[in-house]
Chains A and B, each alone.
Chain A
C-alpha cells in the first residue's frame, strides 16, 4: 500500500499563504493609551474560522508524520506516539500556572517527583532534574553541572572530549558552556579507540561525552575501561541519551560508569516530536553531583507532601520556569503504561527491527553488530538522491550523509513500532532506489506535495516572510 501526499495547488503555488487569502489593516487611533506609546496600524491575515480550519487541514495533509507511515530517521527515534498520552496531557488539572504555591499543586509535584524517581531507575542515576526543555538543553545543563563541580573542587578544567561520530549538539553544547572541544577519532571498528582516548584526556579534561550504543548503532564494549580512563584523569563521563531506546531494561548508563546523562523523552518515551518540538531533556546525575542540579528541584517531604527547593550548589536555571511540563507528563504516562516488561520489550523489538532491516537491504552496512539503528552506505550514489527517490515509495527516508565515517551514509532507525510488513515496504523502497538509474534518482521525488526544492538557491537569497516574497514586498526592512 503506497502513500501519496496531498497537493493543494493554485496556479503557480501550492496552498496559498493565509495573508494572500484575506488580510486587513487596522488603524490604531482610539486606544486606551497615549498615541506616542502605540503603533500606528496593524496588518495581518484575517481569515474566518471556517477558512482557517481548511487552511490548516490542507497544510496537515501536506505534512508527513509517524501516523502517515514509517519514519526511520536515524538517531531521532521516531516511534509511534500513543493517543493515550494526548488524553492525559489534556487534563484540565495539568494546566497550572508555575507560580502556584506548592501546597496547591501537589498533584503536579507528585508526578514530577515520581518521574524523577523513575528516570533515575531507568538510567541508573541517583538524582534527576526535569528542567531542560530539550535534549541539547540537557547536554548544556549537564556541562554546566560539570563546570560547577570542577570549580567547586578548585580545578580549572577547560576541555570536553567528543568522538568524531557524535551528534552535532555535543560539540555546540560544549562550546556554549565555555569549553574547548577536543575531537576524538573513532577506531577502525567504529568504536572508541582506547589509545586515542588515552592521548586525548588529561589534566584539562572536564568531561568525555559519549552515546552508547554510538551513532553507528554499535555498543562500546570497552565502556568500563573508557569511563575508568576518564575518571583516572579526573574528568566526568557524560552520557548522550539519544540512543537510550536501545538499552531499556538491558543496561544502564549509571552502571557503565557514566556520571551525568540526559534523557530525550520525546524519543525514548514516545511523546510526539511536534514538527521539531517541544521535547524535554531531563538530566540524571550520580549522588555527589545532585547538589548542583538546577533550581527548583522537587522532593517528597517526611510528611508525604511534595515541595520545590533549591539544591545547595545549584547552577541556577536553564529554563525560565520548569521546562516542558506537558511533554514530561506524557513521558510519565508512557512509562507507567509500559512498566518494566513493556520498556524492555520496546528495546528488544527496536533492536530486532534494526537487525532485520540491516539484513534485508542490499546496501552495504559496514561495522556491526547493531542495536536499534545502523548506518548503510549508498556507495557511489548520492545519499540525498537515494532519500528523495524513497519519498516516492510513500515512506520517510533515513538520515542522510551522517555520520561522516560512512561514505554517503544512510542512517536507519526503524524503532519497535513498525511491523514486519512495514519493514518490508522500507526494503522495497531501498531496493528501488538501489536499482534506479542516475536520471531517476536526480529527478525524484514526483509523488510528494512539492517536487525537488533547490535548497542552495533558497539559502543564497533568503526570503523569510511573506513580505520578502516577489509578489509580497521588499526583501529588506518591511
Chain B
C-alpha cells in the first residue's frame, strides 16, 4: 500500500485474487464487465497525475500555506469559538466518521443517541419541542422555514418579510427557495440596527406568510422588542421565524417566550471552527408543525428487549418515501457537525455556555470602547446592546483601513465607505491588543 502501487491504493485485490474472481464471473478481463457502447467509452486520460501518500500531503500543505497567516475579526454570519480538543478526538472516532445515515437503527444506536441528545439540547435552548439535526446552514434553514410556512399557512399569503440588513447571500438563498414555492421576499426597514416596529406594523397584512427577524442581528445588535414582532405575526396568522445561534440562545430571551414558530441559524458556531463558511443549520419548531418539518428526525422508542432505543422517525415526510411530495429534498446533511456541536455544548455545560455568551457581550463592549478611543474612529455606531460584533465609523475610507490592517495581519470587514465591522469571541480576544494598536496606526 505504498505510493508505487499501480491502480487504486485502497482496493485490496492482489493480482491472483483478481484473476480468481474474474474466473468466478466468467470474464477474462475486467474491461469485459463494462457494458458501455463504444461511442461513449473514455480512455481514462484525465491528465491527473497520481501522488504517493507523503507527496499528496506535502503538496496540499504547500498549496494551503499560500494562505496568509492572519488573525480574523470577521463575523457577519460565520462565527468561530475555540473548539475544545476533546471535540476533535471524540468526533474523529472512525465509527462515527465512517458511518452512514441510520437506516438500520439496531446497529447505529450510538450515532442516533448523539443526534437525539443534540435535538434535546436545542429544545432546552429554544423552549420549542421539535428540533431536527438536518440542515446545511443558516441560509438554507431559512429557505426551508419559508417553504414550511407555505405548507402550513392558514391564509393565502405569499409575502416573506425580512430585515433590510439581512446579509445579501442569505437573502439570495432564501429567494431561490421562495421562487420555487411561489413566494416573494420583501425587506422591512430597520432603525439603528434593529427592526423598525412601526414600519413593520404597516407592512404586515393578510398576504404576509412569514416574518423573519434575527437576534443578534448581522450588525451584532441585540433586538429589544421581539415579543412585539411575534405578536404582530400572530395577529395576522403569519409565522414568526427567528434566526440565531446556540451561544446567543443560552443568554438571550428564549424563542418560545417571544412567540417564535420556527428558529433557524447556525449550530456550527459551536464545534466546527473556521471552515470557509461550512456550517450546520439550526431548525427548531412547534409540535403542531411536526409532520411538516424538513429533514431527519430521531425519536426514542423501545426494542424487543423492552429497552429504550433510538430510530429515525416520521420518515414518511422524507424524499426517499414521499418523493415529490416530501417536506424537503434533504438526504445527505450535516449529521457529523451536529455531533461536534453536541459534544462542544456538553463540554461547556450551562455554566460554560453562559460564560461564553456573556463574554460575547462584554468583549464586544470592551473592544468597542477601546476602538472608540482611537482618533478618527467612533464605536459602536449603533446605540444598542451588542453581541460579538459592532460597527465602527471611520474618518478615513474604511476599505483603506481594512487593507492597511490586512498588511499588519488582521482581517476586518469594511461594510461601506466609512464603516468597519469588528467581531470578537474567545477565539480571537487574545489578539485585541494587537488589533487596537494596529488600528491606532492606520485609522
Contact across chains for B96 and A359 when beta carbons are under 8 A apart: no
Tell whether A28 pairs with B354 under 8 Å between CB atoms, given A168-B320, A317-B169.
Answer: yes
Q: How far is the CB of A109 from chain B (nearest CB, A)?
A: 9
B211 at the A/B interface (Cβ < 8 Å)?
A: no
Chain B, interface residues (CB within 8 Å), range: 35 or more
Contact across chains for B328 and A172 when beta carbons are under 8 A apart: yes
- List residues 80-135 of chain B with CB under 8 A from any CB of chain A: 80, 84, 86, 88-111, 113-117, 119-125, 127-131
**Which of A194-202, A230-238, A449-457 is found at the contact surface with chain B?**
A449-457
Contact across chains for A133 and B347 when beta carbons are under 8 A apart: no
Bound Cα distance A36, B303 (Å)? 45
Q: How far is the CB of B85 from chain A (nearest CB, A)?
A: 10
Tell whether A15 pairs with B113 under 8 Å between CB atoms, given A61-B95, A457-B301.
Answer: yes
**Which of A6-14, A284-292, A429-437 is found at the contact surface with chain B?**
A6-14
Bound Cα distance A453, B92 (Å)? 27
Bound Cα distance A437, B55 (Å)? 54
A318 at the A/B interface (Cβ < 8 Å)?
A: yes
A157 at the A/B interface (Cβ < 8 Å)?
A: no
Contact across chains for A97 and B78 when beta carbons are under 8 A apart: yes
A152 at the A/B interface (Cβ < 8 Å)?
A: no
Please, which residue of chain A has its CB at the minimum distance from the CB of B412? A99
A363 at the A/B interface (Cβ < 8 Å)?
A: no
B201 at the A/B interface (Cβ < 8 Å)?
A: no
Please, which residue of chain A has its CB at the minimum distance from the CB of B329? A172
Contact across chains for B101 and A468 when beta carbons are under 8 A apart: no
Q: Which residues of A contact B330 (CB under 8 A)?
A: 134, 136
A192 at the A/B interface (Cβ < 8 Å)?
A: no
Contact across chains for B299 and A462 when beta carbons are under 8 A apart: yes
Contact across chains for B333 and A277 when beta carbons are under 8 A apart: yes
Contact across chains for B94 and A42 when beta carbons are under 8 A apart: no
B274 at the A/B interface (Cβ < 8 Å)?
A: yes
- List residues 85-140 of chain A with CB under 8 A from any CB of chain B: 86-88, 90-91, 93-101, 103-108, 110-111, 118, 121-122, 124, 133-137, 139-140
- A interface residues, tally (CB under 8 Å): 201
Q: Which residues of A contact B6 (CB under 8 A)?
A: 341, 345
Contact among A42, A133, A396, A417 for B353, CB-based, below 8 A: A42
Bound Cα distance A340, B6 (Å)? 10
B136 at the A/B interface (Cβ < 8 Å)?
A: yes
**Which of B153-161, B245-253, B370-378 is found at the contact surface with chain A?**
B245-253
Q: How far is the CB of B50 from chain A (nearest CB, A)?
A: 3
Bound Cα distance A236, B49 (Å)? 33
Q: Which residues of A contact B21 (CB under 8 A)?
A: 352-353, 356, 420
B77 at the A/B interface (Cβ < 8 Å)?
A: yes
Contact across chains for A121 and B411 when beta carbons are under 8 A apart: no
Bound Cα distance A417, B13 (Å)? 9
Contact across chains for A349 and B50 when beta carbons are under 8 A apart: no
Bound Cα distance A119, B315 (Å)? 33
Contact across chains for B40 and A273 when beta carbons are under 8 A apart: no
Contact among A14, A93, A136, A137 for B109, CB-based, below 8 A: A14
Contact across chains for B100 and A276 when beta carbons are under 8 A apart: yes
Q: How far is the CB of A32 from chain B (nearest CB, A)?
A: 5
Q: Which residues of A contact B66 (CB under 8 A)?
A: 106-107, 110
Considering the complex of A and B, which 5 residue pairs feature the smallest CB-CB distances, nearest first? Answer: A321-B277, A339-B50, A274-B336, A458-B301, A345-B7
18 examples of A-B residue contacts, CB within 8 angstroms: A12-B307, A39-B251, A52-B86, A172-B326, A181-B323, A223-B40, A224-B39, A248-B44, A276-B335, A295-B172, A320-B169, A321-B276, A337-B51, A341-B6, A342-B9, A419-B17, A451-B305, A464-B298
Q: List 5 additional A-B contacts (Cβ < 8 Å) besides A349-B30, A355-B27.
A: A15-B110, A111-B60, A343-B8, A466-B116, A477-B127
